[in-house]
Copies of this chain bind each other. A is one copy, B any other.
Amino acid sequence: QTAATPAPAETWLPTLQVDTPQQGFDLAIVMARRAVKTTQPDVAVLKAQRPHYAGDAARLIDVSGVAAAWFATIAAANGYWRD
């Protein structure tokens, strides 16, 4: 892999299949954060933003709504772990 050829994309999401709802919840958090990082790759900027959401009720409520949206898809993907 030379400077000219771009690094192969990192495989971070091989599947939506996980064993338990709790792992599904954790994957939802991963995907939610990944969408943020895709928009803002600069970790320093993200860390500087933490006080603006982690200590703000409105933002924390929004975060839960976003996690719910990602989780809904993951749960459907896993047949709601019924069996």
List A residues at the B interface (Cβ < 8 Å). Answer: 9, 11-17, 20-22, 25, 29, 31-36, 38-40, 45-46, 48-50, 52-73, 75-77, 80-82
Contact = CB atoms under 8 A, between A and B. Distances in A.
Contacts of A55: 40, 45, 48-49
A71 B46 CA distance: 23
A56 B50 CA distance: 10
From DSSP, what is the main secondary structure of chain A's interface residues? Answer: helix
A63 to B, nearest CB: 5
A58 B57 CA distance: 11
B49 A53 contact: no
A82 B16 CA distance: 8
